[in-house]
Amino acid sequence: MVFMLSLASNNANHLPRKMRKIKHKLESLKGYIFITFVLPLTTYVTAAFWTIFFLNKDFVPSATFALMPSWINHGYHTNGMILVLMDLLFENNSIPPVKSALFGITLLAIVYYSMIGMKIPIPRFFEYLFYTCNFHLISFTTTYTLEMCPCLKTQIFRAKFPPNYLPLQS
């Protein structure tokens, strides 16, 4: 959702003049969602995963390792934080007012912990969608990282291909 808002707000300058008014609203909504929901949830998931992993690996059910290799599990729980940190560094997010941000975070915590307390099951469709889409998430993360840091992309390209690799270059 934040990615779609970023895409829309970054390309709002290419819209007709009457529709450019929504750019500020899109940017403030993107900043609100990012600061209120994405940053706290990503930090919580990454910190909880690595804490459990370092304290006792037996907390992770063995059925998880039957479904996916451990490196994919690490990728799920680490790549999100890398993307969030990159977004904090490279993107100019608008900071929402403190009261509305605290309200959003409190609402998120209430909904999250009530779902855990009531043990609301995840429907099979979302479970299937989650596991199949996460393979694409890892490749998207790599692509997004390279697009956000063109200098890194150039260094990787130079490392793979020596300068005389491209004969058409003048």
pLDDT at 14 over 50: yes
Q: Which residue has the higher pLDDT, 52 or 149?
A: 52
Span 68-87, pLDDT tens digits: 777 887 888 888 888 888 88
Q: Do residues 43 and 81 touch, judged by C-beta distance below 8 A? A: yes
Residue 160 neighbours by CB under 8 Å, 6+ apart: none
Segment 4-25 shows an average pLDDT of 70
Residues 98 and 158: their CA atoms lie apart, in Å, by 45
pLDDT score at 121: 61
Q: What is the pLDDT of residues 16-64, one digit of tens each?
A: 776 667 777 777 888 888 888 888 888 988 998 888 888 887 777 777 7
Instruction: Please report, rounded to a whole number, the percentage of residues in the chain having pLDDT higher than 90.
Output: 1
Share above pLDDT 70 across residues of the chain, in percent, rounded to a whole number = 57
Between CA 100 and CA 147 the distance in angstroms is 32
Q: How confident is the model at residue 170 (pLDDT cuts 50, 70, 90)?
A: very low
Q: Domain boundaries in the chain?
A: 2-120, 122-160
Distance CA 9, CA 3 (A): 10
What is the reported pLDDT for 132?
46
- What does the pLDDT read at residue 122? 56
Q: What pLDDT score was predicted for residue 114?
A: 79
Higher pLDDT residue, 7 or 24? 24
- Contacting residues for 38 by C-beta, under 8 A, at least 6 apart: 2, 84
Counting beta carbons within 10 angstroms of the beta carbon of residue 139, is it exposed (0 to 12), middle (13 to 18) or buried (19 or more)?
exposed
**Could you tell me which residue, 149 or 105, shows the higher pLDDT?**
105
Q: How many CB atoms lie within 10 A of CB 140?
A: 15
